[in-house]
DNA sequence: CCTAGATTGGCAGTATACTGTCAATCTACA
DNA sequence: TGTAGATTGACAGTATACTGCCAATCTAGG
């Protein structure tokens, strides 16, 4: 019995692969974000970190990484850069000498407030080529897929972790 | 007339933003790819480059970047690593001393053939949590969106560029 | 022919991402 | 109480990505 013939190797197979499309779309999304926000000198990651610190003042780096689902190693340099720009400050925790608590500075809170319209323009532009109904469908499916694949990523999203520093048990 | 009140800044707004979802999904996709393909020591980018060189033997680095829509600067180091693993070789072109032509080695062709089942498992796993009909819907919308946003990325996909080295005019 | 502009590949610099390791520190259990 | 194991932040090493610059080279126009 002859074995199945191997399918031909084509670029079209690459172009249609989910992984390739996710990569391309992410690159396009970053490109649009940077274009709309170039006046603010903030990257998408730095923006997400600022929002999380704004929402959870006094969070530490490890929990921050869980809240935005970014790698903890990467986050170290992100925090350094935000600190160098005077958008955040780090204060050692009194009860636990390992932990450094993160807070927005006045400038950080200011730039966060100012950049929001540009961020919203960027997010809208990413989906603009689709019809409104299709935008909604795509976002709904993507939210589902990211959520159902949460554990597949090295840094699963743990939104509730952010509350632990307020004394709630894990 | 009072101005509209600023909307509150929440993490939920970040979690629902297209850019955030594209980033998360890309990270998950890379994670799944690396897991399925860990026996082969090939990254997603390296895999795409191998396929493109297989499909277009004798392509140069600049056209390769257009065919897979990856940044040319980045591609330099990708090519170096593939060359260090003896999967590709570079030959200077005789007519144009600037150009170095890319070819798969015997090992490169071999690993490409061997890795395909693992790549297909990875691609399937990325979408597995969705119902089959939803997978199709998502892929259709994503192909559309990437195509319609093609010019928004720094390196737009130019699939037809790959044919130019065969003598066809651009 | 000869030069202005384009192309090619290489490099430096910055910013994510991830793996793995480490010391300092804390916690919980024996 | 003492210590094994967990946690936190830091670091080294690798691999994308992108911006901008550069020298070598090619091409087209005058």
Range with the poorest average pLDDT among A55-69, A154-168, B66-80:
A154-168
CA distance A95 to chain B (A): 27
pLDDT in tens, B64-73: 999 999 999 9
Residues of chain B contacting A126 with CB distance shorter than 8 Å: 18-19, 22, 145, 149
Residue A17: what pLDDT? 97
Residue A90: predicted pLDDT: 94
Higher pLDDT, A170 or B116: B116
Task: Tell me, yes or no, if B48 comes closer than 8 A to chain A by beta carbon.
Answer: yes
Mean local confidence (pLDDT), A63-68: 94
The confidence band for A166, taking pLDDT boundaries of 50, 70 and 90, is: very low
Q: In terms of Cα–Cα distance, which of B10, B23, B3, B67 is closest to A45?
A: B23
How far: A63 CA to C22 C1' (Å)? Answer: 21
In this complex, do A129 and B145 lie within 8 Å of one another by their Cβ atoms?
yes
Over 90: is that where the pLDDT of B81 sits? yes
Quote the mean pLDDT of chain B: 89
Residue A94 burial (10 A CB sphere; 0-12, 13-18, 19+): exposed
Distance from CA of A41 to the nearest CA of B (A): 17
List the single protein residue with the shortest CA to C1' distance from D19: B73
Q: How far is B98 from chain A (nearest CA, A)?
A: 26
- Which residue ranges have CB below 7 A from strand D? A 23, 27, 30-31, 34, 60-63, 72-73, 76, 79, 96, 98-100; B 43-46, 70-71, 73-74, 77-78, 81, 95-98, 153-155
Q: B126: which chain A residues are within 8 Å (Cβ-Cβ)?
A: 18-19, 22, 145, 149
What is the predicted pLDDT for the residue at A123? 97
Q: A153 — phi, psi (to 5°)?
A: -85, 155
Question: Does residue B168 have a pLDDT over 50?
Answer: no
The tens digit of pLDDT for each residue in A19-54 reads: 999 999 999 999 999 999 999 989 999 999 999 999
Percent of chain A with pLDDT over 70: 91
Closest residue by Cα to residue A123 from A71, A48, A55 = A48
Determine if strand C comes within 7 Å of the CB of A94. no
pLDDT(A169) > 60: no
Closest CA in chain B for residue A150: B28
Residue B156: which pLDDT band, with cuts at 50, 70 and 90?
confident
In what side-by-side order are the strands of the sheet with B59-60?
A: B59-60, B100-104, B88-92
Lowest mean per-residue pLDDT among B4-13, B16-25, B66-75, B159-168:
B159-168
- Minimum-distance residue to D27 (CA–C1'): B96
Mean pLDDT, range B46-60, rounded to an integer: 96
pLDDT band at B134 (very low <50, low <70, confident <90, very high): very high
Q: Which residue has the higher pLDDT, A170 or B113?
A: B113
Contacts of B21 in chain A (CB under 8 A): 139, 142-143, 146
- The DSSP-derived string for chain B is -PPPPPPP--HHHHHT-HHHHHHHHHHHHHHHHHHHTTTTT--HHHHHHHHHHHHSTTEEHHHHHHHHT--HHHHHHHHHHHHHTTSEEEEE-SS-TT-EEEEE-HHHHHHHHHHHHHHHHHHHHHHTTS-HHHHHHHHHHHHHHHHHTGGGSSS---GGGGGGGGT---
Smallest CA–CA distance from B150 into chain A, residue: A28
User: Measured between CB atoms, which of A18, A138, A153 is closest to B141?
Assistant: A138
pLDDT at A154: 66
pLDDT at B169 exceeding the cut of 60 = no
Average pLDDT over residues A75-91: 95
Q: For residue A85, is pLDDT > 50?
A: yes
Percent above pLDDT 90 for chain B: 77
Which comes out higher in pLDDT, residue B95 or A135? Answer: A135
The predicted model gives B140-164 an average pLDDT of: 79
Average per-residue pLDDT for chain A:
89
Three-state SS sequence of B97-146? CCCEEEEECHHHHHHHHHHHHHHHHHHHHHHCCCCHHHHHHHHHHHHHHH
């Amino acid at each position: 019995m002859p074995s199945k013939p191997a399918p031909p190797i084509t670029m079209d197979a690459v172009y249609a692969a989910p992984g390739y499309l996710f990569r391309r779309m992410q690159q396009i999304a970053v490109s649009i974000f940077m274009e709309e926000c170039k006046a603010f000198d903030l990257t998408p990651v730095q923006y997400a970190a600022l929002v999380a610190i704004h929402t959870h003042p006094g969070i530490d780096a490890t929990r921050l990484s869980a809240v935005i689902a970014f790698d903890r190693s990467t986050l170290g340099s992100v925090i350094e850069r935000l600190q160098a720009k005077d958008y955040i400050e780090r204060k050692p925790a009194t009860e636990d000498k390992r932990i450094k608590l993160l807070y927005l500075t006045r400038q950080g809170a200011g730039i966060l407030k100012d950049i929001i319209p540009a961020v919203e323009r960027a997010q809208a532009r990413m989906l603009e080529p689709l019809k409104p109904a299709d935008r909604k469908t795509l976002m709904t499916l993507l939210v589902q897929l990211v959520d159902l694949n949460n554990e597949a990523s090295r840094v699963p999203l743990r939104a509730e972790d952010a509350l632990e520093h307020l004394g709630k048990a894990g």
